[in-house]
Amino acid sequence: MPADEKRYAHGIETLTALGATRLIEMAEGLHDIAPQLADFMVSFAFGDVYARPQLAPAQRQLVTLGALAAMGGAEPQLEIHIDLALKAGLTPEEIVEALSQIAVYAGFPRALNAVAVARRVIDGHA
């Protein structure tokens, strides 16, 4: 198997272990219009970065939630990663507390938007 195919397969393994079915479906849905974007997302983000052993999945999700919330405009991705954070064992209270920290560094509008997304995801898990 060529190196790129191994990285992609490793990314799919990582996504599967995270329970990230929606991200796998998203990548598969991109293959007809933007196959390289799908490959980059799976191979790099999940085959290379997320698969590294230095942080536990819950820790990676906290970092990801902070980055997405601080960026703003990434609410669909934030929704997916809040779901993954819950699957990784973070509690709703931990997620909301982490997103509340965003107000200090990125402003209240971004923190409030992130918490609104968290509410929808958390309510959907209940």
Q: For each of the domains in the chain, give its residue range(s) and CATH number, in order of start.
A: 1-54 (no CATH), 56-126 (1.20.1290.10)
Residue 89 confidence (pLDDT) above 80: yes
- Tell me, what's the pLDDT at 4? 79
- Give the Cα-Cα-Cα angle 56, 59, 62 (nearest 5 degrees): 155
pLDDT tens for 53-78 read 999 999 999 999 999 999 999 999 99
Q: What is the mean pLDDT of the chain?
A: 94
- Tell me, what's the pLDDT at 15? 96
Separation between Cα atoms, residue 7 and residue 93, nearest integer Å: 35
- Tell me, what's the pLDDT at 2? 55
Please state the pTM of the whole predicted model: 0.90
